[in-house]
Structure 1
Amino acid sequence: MEGASNGGMLYHEVQESKLCAVHCVNTVLQGPFFSEFDLAALASDLDRKERQVMLGGTAAAPANFLSEESHNVSLDGDFSIQVLEKALEVWDLQVIPLHSPVAEPAQIDPELENAFICHLHDHWFCIRKVNGEWYNFDSLYAAPMHLSKFYLSAYLDTLKGSGWSIFLVRGNFPKECSIPASEASNGYGQWLTPEDAERITKSCNSTQDPSQTINLNEPNGLFSGEVEMLSQMEDDDLKAAIAASLMDSSPALSKSEAGAPLPQDENQSSKDKSE
């Protein structure tokens, strides 16, 4: 097994305004590599190239393509999958739709991969293997949530059945990111030990109203009570008993909803161009 990256720490970004695409890319890379300004610049460049292609064609370009409206970032800060692809290409990472033939091995044995990107209703998050263990790095969570290898497959299947678009990420992932010596936080993100992540997850779960039910089609919608059960079960065979259900989650937004230049409302129509 290869050495632990980032000294065994997990990099997580808690939701800031509506910047889930930024959080998704950075947790895939396990470090604060991109800001909302970086993704906006990539979106602008993609828009420019798309207009050039349309203007260079023989047929008349659609009017909406010649407008100033961006096709890769909305006014509320929702980025297209093409922007996320370009950001990850900078690090020689490839984004592949999970339903494509080239991703067939990942459909059969997802635990052999390293990262997945999930998208629904203008919300992005990543599921990432770090130091040999799988975690859900949804920015709506207060900390990354551990997933067993067995549970990973059941979780992805349930997401697909609930309408989520899932993408496989392959390539040479960054091994290290400079962590500030004075504190384990920087910008939107924070570095946590696996033990701290588990403690925070248990703490959030213990305050969850047991009677609360969450719509599975919402970005963080999962079944009630499963986080605590998973954290207590050490044997994968026992975890098979709850494979048909999903972890509990409750939005834990620890940061202010103000101050970002792109965000407004993340519940607008999806700009996912992957289909």
Structure 2
Amino acid sequence: MDGSAEEQGGASNGGMLYHEVQESKLCAVHCVNTVLQGPFFSEFDLAALASDLDRTERQMMAGSVTGDYLPEVSHNVSLDGDFSIQVLQKALEVWNLQVIPLDSPSAGPAQIDPEKENAFICHLHDHWFCIRKVNGEWYNFDSLYPAPEHLSRFYLSAYLDSLKSSGWSIFLVRGDFPSDCPIASSETTGGYGQWLLPEDAERMTKSGGMAAVSDDDEDLKAAIAASLAECGTGGGARPGDEGEKGEEEKRE
């Protein structure tokens, strides 16, 4: 496993935690940024990556006859901002990070000792979130929560097993994670990013509550559609989607 600044004892971002609270249905954006621990990507950055993937897929599928492939529809992003795992992989590849299914043979050690890793991505239906080790401690960076939730090393393994039993797809993230990110204002984090001290995150977690998800997504849909149109790709539901479920629904 590749080393990281955290494993070598260096505290990242001065001990601060970077968390993004749910905005519309941009949980994939929030997930990528909390893996990286900084506001590195916007929804438009991921939409551009989705368009690149769609273009490559159209070239590969050119001339083939298949009933379930619609070239005029994006297979990597829907109009409401839900992205495919391939888009998340592409985004993290920019930072030389690999995304590996946890049930793959190469992830065998992580199945036995997950606490020795640095990050996991979790996905079910239309919701993404990451579990990340920051400064030696594990946190659940689910954007539906107002702050990162601390996870003990013992509970980490049990929690991952619980997610798998509930049907969640889990991916391991490996590589050299960014060791530091300039702490930015809310204007540069899209308004939904925040930097928190661990004690502040603990206090907010104990106060309870879920992040509110706005139902007014028309501006977001229009912006994503415009971004895709510039690249010649139309947004739409992706094949294999199991139906939309509200992200405000609290997991058991």
Same fold (TM over 0.5): yes
Matched, 1:85 2:85: no
The answer on 1:269 being equivalent to 2:241 is: yes
Determine if the alignment matches structure 1 residue 152 to structure 2 residue 112: no
Q: Does 1:14 align with 2:21?
A: yes
Q: TM-score by structure 1 length?
A: 0.74
Counterpart of 1:165 in structure 2: which amino acid?
A: S
Count how many residue pairs are aligned between Structure 1 and Structure 2.
219
- Tell me what 2:47 maps to: 40
Which protein has the larger Cα radius of gyration, Structure 1 or Structure 2? 1
1:101 corresponds in structure 2 to 105
Once the two structures are superposed, residues 82-127 of structure 1 have per-residue CA deviations (whole angstroms, 9 ceiling, x without a partner) of 0000000000000000000000000000000000000001100000
Q: Indicate how the Cα distance of structure 1 residues 158 and 189 shifts in structure 2: closer, same or farther if over 3 A, else same.
A: same
1:135-168 residue CA offsets vs partner (Å, 9 max, x unmatched): 0000000000000000000000000000000000
- The structural deviation recorded for 1:256 is 8.3
Q: CA RMSD in A?
A: 2.4
SS at match of 1:186: coil
Instruction: Specify the code of the residue in structure 1 equivalent to 2:105.
Output: P
Relative to structure 1, the CA distance from residue 50 to residue 254 in structure 2 (aligned partners, 3 Å threshold; closer, same or farther) is closer
Residues 141 and 253 of structure 1 are in contact (CA less than 8 Å); yes or no, is this contact kept in structure 2? Answer: no
* Alignment match of 1:186 (pick from 161, 184, 189): 189
Output the CA distance in 1 between the equivalents of 2:105 and 2:220.
39
Partner in structure 2 of residue 143 of structure 1: 147
In structure 2, how many angstroms separate the alpha carbons of the residues matched to 1:118 and 1:33? Answer: 19
Tell me the residue number matched to 2:32: 25
Q: Distance in 1 between matches of 2:11 and 2:187?
A: 17
- Given the two structures, how large is their TM-score scaled by the length of structure 2? 0.81
Distance in 2 separating the partners of 1:2 and 1:254: 37
Q: How does 1:174-213 map to 2 (within 5 A)?
A: 174-180=178-184, 186-187=189-190, 188-204=192-208
Deviations 1:38-72 (A, max 9, x none): 0001011001001111126xxx3325535310111
Flag structure 2 segments of 5+ consecutive residues without an equivalent: 1-7, 226-236, 244-252
Separation of aligned partners in 2, 1:169 and 1:126: 10
Identity %: 75
SS in 2 for 1:190: strand
Q: Which residue of 2 aligns with 1:209?
A: none
CA change 1:46–1:196 in 2 (3 A) is: same
Task: For 1:37 and 1:147, locate their aligned partners in 2 and report how far apart those are by CA, in whole Å.
Answer: 32
